[in-house]
A and B are shown apart, each in its own frame.
Chain A
Amino acid sequence: MSQSRIRLERVTKRWGATAAVDEISFDVTPGQFVILLGPSGCGKSTTLRMIAGLEEASGGQIHIGERDVTRLPPGDRGLSMVFQSYALFPHLSVADNIVFGLRSRKVPKAEQRERLAKVAELVDLTDYLNRKPAQLSGGQRQRVALARSIISEHPICLMDEPLSNLDARLRSDMRREIKALQSRLNMTVIYVTHDQVEAMSMGDRVILMQHGRIVQDGSPDELYNQPASAFAASFIGSPAMNLLPLVQGDQGAVIDGEPTTTVAPLEAAGGQLGIRPEDIELRPASEPGVPATVLSEEYLGADTIAHVAVGTHTLRVRLSGKHALTGQACCLHWAAESAHLFGTDGLRRHDLTPVQLLSAHRSIPRPPFVGSFQH
Chain B
Amino acid sequence: MALTAHHKMQMYGALLLLPAAVLLAAFAYLPTITTVIQSLFLPGFRGAPSEFVGLENYRFLFDDAKFWKVARNNLIYALGTIPASIALALGMALFVNGKLPGRGLVRMAYFTPTILPMIAAANIWMFFYAPQIGLFNKLLGALGFSGVNWLGDPSVALGSVIVMSVWKEAGFFMIFYLAALQGIPPELKEASDLEGTSRWSFFWRVTFPLLMPTTLFVLINALINAVRVVDHLFILTKGGPNNATKLLLYYVYENAFSFFDRTTAATITVVILLVLAVVATLKFTILDRRTHYQ
- B194 near A80: Cβ-Cβ < 8 Å: yes
A91-B210, A91-B292 known; A105-B187 Cβ under 8 A: no
Q: How far is the CA of A54 from the CA of B191 in the complex (A)?
A: 9
Closest to B191 in A: A87
Residue contact A75 to B197, C-beta cutoff 8 Å: yes
Q: Is the CB of A89 within 8 A of B206?
A: yes
Q: Is B153 an interface residue (CB 8 A)?
A: no
> Which of B185, B190, B196, B209 is within 8 Å of A91, CB to CB?
B209
Contact of B194 among A75, A89, A103 (CB under 8 A): A75
Interface flag for B146 (CB, 8 Å): no
Interface residues of A in 56-76 (CB under 8 A from B): 73-76
A83 within 8 A of partner (CB): yes
Q: Taking the nearest CB of chain B, how far is it from the CB of A267, in angstroms?
A: 51
CB A85 to nearest CB in B, in angstroms, measures 5
**Structural contact, A152 and B195, CB atoms closer than 8 A:** yes
Q: How far, in whole Å, are A134 and B198 apart by their CA atoms in the complex?
A: 26
Q: Are the CB atoms of B197 and A104 closer together than 8 Å?
A: yes
For A101, the chain B residues whose CB sits under 8 A away are 192, 194-197
Tell me if A230 is interfacial: C-beta within 8 Å of chain B.
Answer: no
The answer, among A75, A85, A100, for a CB contact under 8 Å with B185, is: A85
| Cβ contact within 8 Å between B197 and A83 | no
- The answer to whether residues A100 and B195 also contact, given A87-B188, A90-B210, A90-B294 and a CB cut-off of 8 A, is yes
Assess the A81–B188 pair: CB atoms within 8 A.
no
Contact with B along A112-149 (1 / 0, CB 8 A): 00000000000000000000101000000000000010
Is the interface on chain B under 10, 10 to 19, 20 to 34, or 35 or more residues? 20 to 34
B residues within 8 A CB of A81? 190-191, 194
Q: Please give the number of chain A residues whose Cβ is less than 8 angstroms from any Cβ of chain B in the complex.
A: 25
Q: Is A87 a contact partner of B197 (Cβ separation < 8 A)? A: no
A85-B185, A90-B292, A91-B209 as given contacts; A75 in contact with B196, CB under 8 Å: yes
CA distance A351 to B197 in the complex (A): 55
Whether a CB of chain A sits under 8 angstroms from the CB of B182 is: no
A11 within 8 A of B: no
Cβ–Cβ < 8 Å partners of A79 in chain B = 194
Q: Report the bound CA distance from A218 to B177 in whole Å.
A: 49
Chain B residue, CB-CB nearest to A52 = B194
Q: CB distance B190 to A105 under 8 Å? A: no
B194: chain A residues within 8 A (beta carbon) = 52-54, 74-75, 79-81, 101
Closest to B292 in A: A91
* Cβ distance A48 to chain B, nearest Cβ, rounded Å: 12
Residues of B within 8 A of A73 (CB): 193, 196
How far does the alpha carbon of A132 sit from the alpha carbon of B210 in the complex, in Å? 13
Whole-angstrom distance between the Cβ of B181 and the nearest chain A Cβ: 15
Contact pattern, B 18-45, Cβ under 8 Å of A = 1, otherwise 0: 0000000000000000000000000000
B4 at the interface (CB under 8 A from A): no
Whole-angstrom distance between the alpha carbons of A163 and B172 in the complex? 41
List of A residues within 8 angstroms of B258 by Cβ:
none
**B200 CB, min distance to chain A CBs, angstroms:** 11
* Residue B285 CB within 8 A of the other chain: no
Q: Is the CB of B188 within 8 A of A105?
A: no
Closest to A80 in B: B194
Please give, as numbers and ranges, the residues of chain A lying within 8 Å of B195 by CB-CB distance: 75, 80, 100-101, 104-105, 152
User: Known: A90-B210, A104-B195, A104-B201. Is A74-B190 also a contact (CB below 8 A)?
Assistant: yes
Residues of A within 8 A of B192 (CB): 100-101, 104
Question: What string of 1s and 0s marks CB contacts (under 8 Å) between B275-294 and chain A?
Answer: 00000000000000000101
Beta-carbon contact of B292 and A87 below 8 Å: no
4 further A-B pairs in the complex, CB-CB below 8 A; given A75-B196, A101-B194? A52-B190, A87-B185, A90-B210, A100-B197
Q: What are 10 A-B pairs at a CB distance below 8 A?
A: A54-B190, A54-B194, A75-B194, A75-B195, A80-B194, A87-B187, A89-B205, A90-B210, A91-B212, A91-B292
10 closest cross-chain pairs (CB), A and B: A75-B196, A101-B195, A91-B292, A87-B187, A104-B197, A87-B191, A74-B193, A104-B195, A91-B209, A74-B194
A residues at B contact (CB < 8 Å) = 52-54, 73-76, 79-81, 83, 85, 87, 89-91, 100-101, 103-105, 132, 134, 148, 152
